[in-house]
């Protein structure tokens, strides 16, 4: 993290977070639920989604250890009411900074706005916990994720050469400021 440049919060992500779709925890029956993962069943569901979406996924044991041992780690799961986990996001909230480690939507549920909805929820919760800015890394070839982050006010600030493995690829570093302006 120390190599990451300090963001210029005046220049980055000045848009406030939309309030309508970000708050979707307890709404009408057609709205998805977004909750922090605590149960072993949900950790297993997230691990399955990880394995489906990434070439070097975190295992259930890694996720369990992260949640058990890291006080800054959070994992959020999005599901239809009473249904299966359709998306998840793992992150750290460290003082005034949200670091999004992973977000994934089940392949058959993409392009429905779920990734946007989940990111907005996580950013709002991070802001409530005191975060004022957010950062993440993304594979250079991941057009879908880069467009998603751009639509959420993230700005690409640097490149980490050869950051990813399997396959090796550059990582793009993004920042978004003004998280608390929701």
Catalytic pick among 128, 137, 163, 169: 137
Q: Does 105 bind ligand COA (CB under 6 A)?
A: yes
Q: Does 142 bind ligand COA (CB under 6 A)?
A: yes
Identified binder of ligand COA from the candidate list 11, 62, 72, 144, rule CB under 6 A: 144
Q: Does 138 bind ligand COA (CB under 6 A)?
A: yes
Q: Give pairs for 139-146: CB < 8 Å, separation 24+.
A: 139/164, 139/169, 139/170, 139/171, 139/172, 140/169, 140/170, 140/171, 140/172, 141/169, 144/110, 145/103, 146/172
The 133-139 sheet, strands edge to edge: 33-36, 73-79, 85-94, 97-105, 133-139, 169-176, 155-164
Identified binder of ligand COA from the candidate list 70, 72, 151, 159, rule CB under 6 A: 151
Identified binder of ligand COA from the candidate list 13, 115, 153, 171, rule CB under 6 A: 115
The verdict on whether 137 is a catalytic residue reads: yes
Question: Cβ 56 to ligand COA, closest distance in Å?
Answer: 12
The verdict on whether 149 is a catalytic residue reads: yes
Task: Please identify, among the stretches 36-44, 59-67, 140-148, 172-180, the one whose residues bind ligand COA according to the rule CB under 6 A.
Answer: 140-148
Task: Pick left, alpha or beta for residue 127 (phi over 0 → left; psi -120 to 50 → alpha; otherwise beta).
Answer: alpha
Helix, strand, coil shares, percent, the chain, to 5: 30, 30, 40
Q: Which residues would be at the binding site for ligand COA (CB under 6 A)?
A: 53, 102-105, 110-116, 138, 142-145, 147-148, 151
Q: Which residues are known catalytic residues? A: 137, 149
């Amino acid at each position: 993290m120390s190599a990451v440049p300090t963001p210029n919060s005046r220049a980055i992500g000045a848009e406030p977070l939309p309030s309508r779709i970000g708050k979707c925890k307890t709404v009408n029956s057609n709205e998805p639920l977004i909750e922090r993962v605590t149960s072993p069943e949900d950790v297993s569901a997230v691990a399955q989604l990880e394995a489906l979406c990434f070439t070097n996924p975190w295992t259930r044991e890694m996720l369990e250890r992260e949640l058990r041992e890291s006080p800054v780690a959070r994992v959020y799961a999005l599901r239809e009411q009473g249904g299966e986990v359709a998306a998840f996001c793992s992150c750290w909230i460290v003082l005034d900074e949200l670091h999004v480690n992973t977000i994934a939507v089940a392949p058959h549920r993409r392009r429905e706005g779920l990734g946007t909805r989940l990111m907005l929820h996580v950013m709002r919760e991070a802001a409530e916990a005191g975060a004022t800015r957010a950062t993440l890394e993304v594979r250079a070839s991941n057009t879908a994720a880069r467009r998603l982050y751009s639509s959420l006010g993230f700005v690409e600030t640097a490149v980490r050469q050869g950051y990813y493995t399997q396959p090796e690829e550059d990582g793009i570093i993004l920042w978004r400021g003004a998280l608390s302006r929701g």
